[in-house]
A and B are shown apart, each in its own frame.
Chain A
């Protein structure tokens, strides 16, 4: 939309104010990660200081930090892969062989997400305990993949539906079996959509807090648990906490920025192009 010079300036000021305002807490934490502990708690808050990397070294040297990080990575990737393995065939079936039931099944899948996790905390906890899944990475993968499955199916479904059916018919005429159709035509065409879906899944699993905090507190604890344990830090740990937190959120932030447009297309179910 064209704006006059003056309105453009006004809008720029407003826009940047909002953007910086929203981003400020993250920025502040990022800045604090380069301060020494003393500088970090100084009042008035230090804006000019000599940056240091000592906090990052300290965090990365901690063996348990790396363990937490590794758990986060394994759980996120594992859950995403498991969810994809279940969701790709399901979405394919619903997108290309829709029946009268398809809409209901999709809505039902979404409705399972409505089940508040807390409602089944008790049985899952007990089940996991009895199955030996408590405090294991695999236990977290199982529950995260189920949690994220409806969204992954939803997004893949909407991306698959964007592929014109004629192209798949053409491949059928060319002699492709169903698997060949999937591998040679559908998946290559949907790669950006699958990538965006996977990234969203990774983000959701990485940030997942409820189950991580309740089911995996020691050995399989993820970065979520690690950061949560600093709920009452003494002041002397703030700079290091900032460094640890920055490391914890940086990859996801970048993933999010890269994939946000594609993610939205899938999530909005075609409401947004």
Chain B
């Protein structure tokens, strides 16, 4: 006589129904707006003339792809993402190595270093724009003037780099937040064994610390990439994408089309392009992290 277990199907059903609301919510979030974006991207639809919608096919895409604006924005986006990722990972690693050392007050230093991550992006942007980088009243201007150079006009001359600087300041602490504990979790016996084998600090870093950090670095890169692709607030507060298109990224471009020009069609097409871009960049990084998730049963 088979002993079928009534508890098994019940338990599995239960598990699935616990999962369902979250999955449903996220699924809706993905599917509905995504479908709408795709739909709108093929329409000529301007909110100023809501009645006059027309099917545009590839029209919006052609518009976007043939004008400079999109390419400049994409280039700026990739530039920003790449540069800030590099800055945060390199400095994050360096700062973590430093804070891992034993010196008086290192715990307080750690708290100070991670503080910028918790600051609202709008406030960060304001601090940098008005108090530090402002060519008239800012601190940097005062310093450079005292040294004999004139004031640097950060946002007029090098808007993208200035924004990258702000982002670097905001997100390097995040890298430290993740990398420092990872570094400290390194098995001390492994470090001792390496020392006994004659490893100096550089060899120690190359062969022991760096490999151990690869996984947390991948996590940092993945999370940062998600946020950087949609970078918005800092641009909004500091340069509004200017001068011209110099500091416009994809997110800001779409925002401009959607909520400043009210061109829903074009903004949606831009959105689709942004999604495709994000997927390409993201797929690669996700594989990396996904592979690292292999070693849990």
Contacts and interface: CB of A to CB of B under 8 A. Distances in A.
Chains A, B in direct contact (C-beta < 8 Å): yes
Given A231-B238, A248-B120, A110 B286 contact: yes
A12 B12 CA distance: 56
Interface string B137-155: 1010010001000000000
Interface string A221-256: 001100110110101001001100100110011011
B130 interface: yes
Interface in B206-231: 215-216, 219, 223, 226, 229-230
B208 to A, nearest CB: 13
8 contacts: A1-B102, A11-B98, A86-B21, A103-B293, A213-B232, A224-B120, A224-B122, A245-B120
B30 A90 contact: no
Interface of B is mostly: helix
A195 B146 CA distance: 48
Interface in B250-275: 250-251, 254-255, 258-259, 264, 267-268, 270-272, 274-275
Contact of A19 (B112, B126, B274): B112
B14 interface: yes
Interface of B: 11-12, 14-16, 18-19, 21-23, 25-26, 29-30, 32-34, 36-37, 40, 95, 98-106, 108-132, 137, 139, 142, 146, 169, 172-173, 177-178, 181-182, 185, 191, 215-216, 219, 223, 226, 229-230, 232-233, 236-238, 250-251, 254-255, 258-259, 264, 267-268, 270-272, 274-275, 278-279, 282, 286, 290, 292-293, 296
Interface in A101-148: 103, 105-107, 109-127, 146
Interface of A is mostly: helix
A163 interface: no
Interface residues on A, range: 35 or more
Contacts of A89: 18-19, 21-22
A206 to B, nearest CB: 7
Nearest to B110: A19
Contact of B254 (A1, A92, A118): A118
A118 B15 contact: no
B113 A122 contact: no
Contact of A256 (B101, B118, B124): B118
Contacts of B99: 15
Given A89-B18, A213-B232, A228-B122, A126 B264 contact: yes
A235 B137 contact: yes
A153 interface: yes
A14 interface: yes
A26 interface: yes
The 7 closest A-B pairs by CB, nearest first: A123-B36, A209-B233, A19-B109, A256-B118, A120-B33, A89-B18, A97-B15
A107 B18 contact: no
A25 B131 contact: yes
A122 B275 contact: no
Nearest to A90: B22
A213 B232 CA distance: 10
A28 B115 CA distance: 13
A118 B230 contact: yes
B37 A107 contact: no
Contacts of B113: 18-19, 22-23
A114 B282 contact: yes
Nearest to B91: A18
A129 B290 CA distance: 37
Interface of A: 1-3, 8, 11-12, 14-16, 18-20, 22-23, 25-26, 28-29, 32, 41, 43-45, 86-87, 89-90, 92-94, 96-97, 99, 103, 105-107, 109-127, 146, 149-150, 153, 161, 178, 203, 206-207, 209-210, 213-214, 223-224, 227-228, 230-231, 233, 235, 238, 241-242, 245, 248-249, 252-253, 255-257, 260-261, 263-265, 267-273
A107 B19 contact: no
Most buried by A among B29, B106, B258: B29
B255 A118 contact: yes
A26 B119 contact: yes
A241 B130 CA distance: 10
A109 B109 contact: no
Nearest to B273: A119
A116 B258 contact: no
B26 A112 contact: yes
